[in-house]
Amino acid sequence: MLQIKNLNVKVDKKDILVKINFNFEKGKVYAIMGPNGSGKSSLAYAIAGHPGYKLEVESLKFEGNDISDLSPEKRAKLGIFLSFQSPLSLSGVNVFQLLRIALDKKIDPLTLKKKIETTAKKLGIKKELIERSLNEGASGGEKKKLEMLQASILDPKLLIFDEIDTGVDIDALRKIANFMNDNKDGKTYILITHYNRILHYIRPDKVLILMDGKLVKVGNSKLAEKIEKNGYERIVNS
Ligand SMILES: Nc1ncnc2c1ncn2[C@@H]1O[C@H](COP(=O)(O)OP(=O)(O)OP(=O)(O)O)[C@@H](O)[C@H]1O
Ligand SMILES: [Mg+2]
């Protein structure tokens, strides 16, 4: 569903991603792991169309359509959702208002409001938090839960979560992962993570290892366990 052929990303002449080739298949769960600064977030940005990342790519196809020149908004409309590693705050816009715009008024306001409230309840998000400007004054874990809420209501086809598991408590993580498992049918998940914790709840079909901007290894969920035990250097060099 997402085909990446020869993707290179440079920032100020520095290679951030080098010759990335991978086909993400529909309905599968992928984990992307790798040391700090290896290019994981940059890959997520490149897929979502962040304007700060200039791509050189042979082809970048989403469900058969070339998306390499599309704006982030157009990519989102096609069904690509990126949850940021550090979710931004939006002053003066609450989650309801944001989703209303993002959904192009496809859901009537009352239904949307109800959907937000039910989902927030399931995720353990306080009512007061959804009425506030998005992420303003929210704790790290609360922001991650709000990301999950948006993903669930936007109902995208490809969901990229950049460290959704960082900074969330064990109960919140279970709720987030349960949510993913309950909404897996026909969807593709890319989970960028440093930890196995989330992968115990939502099992990845494949684990990809990025190092120094290169895709150096692809394996199954056992690879993530080996990494946790032995670290990246030993696994990649073995
Ligand atoms: N806009 C930018 N300007 C300059 N350097 C950048 C930019 N974006 C990314 N980089 C550099 O590219 C490399 C990859 O960064 P990236 O954020 O993708 O790493 P990461 O694998 O997500 O790391 P972490 O695990 O710490 O989140 C880093 O060395 C980073 O400093
Ligand atoms: Mg990152």
**Residue 10: which H helix or E strand, with range?**
strand 2-11
- Ligand 1 centre to CA of 50 (Å) is 13
What does the block give as tokens for 152? 């669930």
Rounded distance, CA 55 to CA 16, Å? 10
pLDDT at res. 90: 82
Nearest in space to 27 (alpha carbons), one of 203, 116, 157, 136: 157
- Output the CA 83–ligand 1 centroid distance in Å: 16
Task: Report the 3 state secondary structure along 49-76.
Answer: CCCCCEEEEEEEEECCEECCCCCHHHHH
122 CB contacts (<8 Å, ≥6 apart)? 175, 179
pTM of the model: 0.92
Domain boundaries, the chain: 2-85+139-237
Report the number of secondary-structure helices (H) and strands (E) in the chain: 10, 10
The pLDDT assigned to 96 comes to 92
- Nearest-CA residue for ligand 1 atom 26 is 36
Quote the DSSP letter at residue 166. Answer: T
d(CA 223, CA 238): 12
> For atom 24 of ligand 1, which residue has the closest CA?
36
What pLDDT score was predicted for residue 14?
87
Q: How many angstroms from the chain centroid is the CA of residue 62?
A: 15
Instruction: Give the per-residue pLDDT at 137.
Output: 84
**Is there a contact between 134 and 89 (Cβ–Cβ < 8 Å)?**
yes
Counting every residue written for the chain, the total comes to 238
Which of 7, 10, 11 should be mutated for ligand 1, with most atoms under 8 A from CB? 11
Task: State the ligand closest to the CA atom of 34.
Answer: 1
Question: 107 C-alpha vs ligand 2 centroid, how far in Å?
Answer: 33
CA distance 180 to 160: 11
Write the residue with the smallest CA distance to atom 27 of ligand 1.
36
First to last CA, the chain: 31
Cα–Cα dist 198/225, whole Å: 12
Q: Which residues sit with their C-beta closer than 6 Å to ligand 1?
A: 11, 16, 34, 36-42, 52, 85
Task: Quote helix, strand, coil % in the chain, to nearest 5.
Answer: 40, 25, 35
pLDDT tens for each residue of the chain, 238 residues long: 999 999 999 888 889 999 999 999 999 999 999 999 999 999 999 999 988 888 899 999 999 999 999 999 999 999 999 998 888 888 888 999 989 988 887 888 999 999 999 999 988 899 989 888 888 888 888 898 999 999 999 989 999 999 999 888 888 899 899 989 988 899 999 999 999 889 999 999 999 999 999 999 999 999 999 998 888 887 777 7
Q: Where are the beta strands (DSSP E) in 63-201?
A: 65-66, 80-83, 158-162, 188-192
- Tell me the C-alpha distance between 195 and 224, whole Å: 8
Where is 219: in which H helix or E strand? strand 214-219
The whole-number pLDDT of residue 43 equals 96
Atom 16 of ligand 1, residue of closest alpha carbon? 39
pLDDT at 105: 76
Class of the CATH domain delimited by 2-85+139-237: alpha beta
